[in-house]
């Protein structure tokens, strides 16, 4: 089997070719590192921003198209055909890694849109089997599509939180909760240590992984306000903006009233030099323009932008007075990437 006949290499190559301008993917798996090394030998890959994501150069695009075309005539290994021959049958719901193992001979291989479409055509629903964690000091019940109702109060009191598996969300009809504020939280430490008040519902939404939050929040009463609590940096604003657009809600950040005090004491440089090394690491640069305003949020953002700094959300959990800061009040361009 040649290099580009390998299922995981073809899948990664197809993903790279399908990227839109400005997009990139991680090539950190074993197959990804092999592919990146080959692409580097022909100057075919380049980084996106300061992170580990990669995209093709024009030379890389031509190279992959040529290599994939050369192996296109080969009769591909069909996991679906093998299952039929073995008398095996796919369940109605399956983990994506399991399906990758059965169909692609590698559980870490990426299922292509064509694979997912074929699974759907077969009546098979593919899940990543993640969970979304919720904290609340107010009564909360889950309403299921079969008409049953589950009161989660005892679980919340005993465990401090509840976790909803991804597969369970497919059967969830609604969430009965009479609070005042929904708060999505970016980092785990901030989620568990935030000083929860009655009338608040916290959802743990790690980084850009907002898929489950976008499923849960629409199940809550639409009249309840929402805001995002994350790192105060460009990426944090982008995540909040993406959630707001997806849920068609006003963009707002959940932050302490004494935000400027924390900003002055805890702001960190966007870029930091690694000790004993020539390389540096850091956050993506701010894309917001600095402004003059008396508002606390604008004052803090202006300070961070001017000093090329950012604020870690974990340091804010010692605050006791919080509020939702609407970004519509600012004259800055706050539209982040989805």
pLDDT at 12: 85
pLDDT at 333: 46
The phi, psi pair for 88, rounded to 5°, reads: -80, 165
Measure Cα distances from 191 to 11, 64, 142, 184, 201 in Å. Answer: 35, 43, 21, 9, 11
Mean pLDDT of 297-307: 90
Name the residue among 38, 79, 82 with its Cα closest to residue 56. Answer: 38
Q: How far apart are CA 300 and CA 263, in angstroms?
A: 6
Q: Note the pLDDT tens digit of each residue in 58-73.
A: 999 999 888 887 876 6
Contact indicator for 222, 177 with CB cutoff of 8 Å: no
Contacts of 157 (CB under 8 A, 6+ apart): none
Mean pLDDT of 48-66: 87
| 335 band by pLDDT with thresholds 50, 70 and 90 | very low
Range of lowest pLDDT (4-18, 188-202, 311-325)? 4-18
pLDDT at 328: 61
| 276 band by pLDDT with thresholds 50, 70 and 90 | low
2 has pLDDT over 90? no
Range of lowest pLDDT (62-71, 178-187, 259-268)? 62-71
Ranges assigned E (strand) in the chain = 25-26, 45-47, 53-56, 93-95, 125-127, 131-136, 140-144, 149-151, 162-165, 172-177, 181-185, 200-204, 225-229, 252-256, 268-269, 271-273, 280-282, 309-310, 322-326
3-class secondary structure, 218: helix
pLDDT at 140: 95
Contacts of 76 (CB under 8 A, 6+ apart): none
3-class secondary structure, 220: coil
Task: Say how many CA atoms lie within 13 Å of 212 toward its Cβ.
Answer: 25
| 204 band by pLDDT with thresholds 50, 70 and 90 | very high
Q: Note the pLDDT tens digit of each residue in 138-151.
A: 999 999 999 999 99
For residue 101 the two structure tokens come to: 């193992």
Higher pLDDT, 178 or 293: 178
| 212 band by pLDDT with thresholds 50, 70 and 90 | very high
118 has pLDDT over 50? yes
Contact indicator for 49, 238 with CB cutoff of 8 Å: no
Name the residue among 50, 60, 59 with its Cα closest to residue 15. Answer: 60
Q: Note the pLDDT tens digit of each residue in 153-176.
A: 999 999 999 999 999 999 999 999
């Amino acid at each position: 089997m040649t290099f580009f006949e390998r299922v995981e290499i073809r899948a990664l190559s197809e993903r790279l070719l399908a990227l839109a301008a400005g997009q990139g993917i991680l090539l950190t798996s074993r197959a990804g590192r092999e592919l990146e090394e080959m692409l580097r030998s022909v100057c075919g890959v380049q980084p996106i921003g300061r992170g580990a994501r990669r995209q093709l150069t024009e030379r890389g695009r031509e190279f992959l198209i040529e290599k994939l075309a050369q192996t296109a005539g080969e009769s591909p290994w069909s996991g679906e055909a093998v299952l039929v021959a073995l008398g095996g049958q796919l369940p109605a719901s399956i983990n994506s890694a399991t399906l990758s193992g059965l169909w692609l001979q590698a559980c870490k291989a990426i299922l292509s849109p064509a694979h997912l479409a074929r699974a759907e055509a077969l009546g098979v629903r593919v899940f990543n089997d993640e969970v979304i964690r919720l904290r609340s000091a107010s009564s909360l019940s889950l309403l299921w599509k079969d008409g049953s109702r589950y009161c989660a109060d005892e679980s919340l009191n005993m465990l401090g939180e509840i976790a909803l598996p991804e597969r369970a969300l497919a059967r969830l009809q609604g969430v009965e909760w009479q609070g005042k504020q929904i708060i999505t939280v970016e980092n785990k430490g901030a989620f568990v240590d935030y000083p929860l008040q009655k009338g608040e519902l916290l959802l743990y939404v790690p980084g850009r992984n907002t898929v489950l939050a976008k499923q849960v929040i629409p199940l809550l009463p639409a009249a309840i306000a929402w805001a995002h609590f994350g790192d105060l940096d460009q990426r944090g604003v982008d995540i909040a903006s993406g959630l707001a657009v997806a849920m068609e809600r006003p963009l707002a950040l959940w932050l302490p009233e004494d935000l400027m005090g924390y900003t002055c004491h805890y702001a960190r440089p966007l870029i930091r030099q690694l000790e004993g090394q020539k390389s540096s690491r850091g956050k993506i640069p701010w894309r917001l323009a600095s402004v003059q305003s008396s508002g606390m949020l604008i004052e803090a953002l202006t300070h961070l932008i001017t000093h090329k700094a950012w604020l870690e959300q974990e340091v804010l959990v010692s605050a006791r007075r919080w509020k939702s800061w609407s970004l519509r009040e600012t004259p800055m361009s706050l539209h982040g990437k989805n």
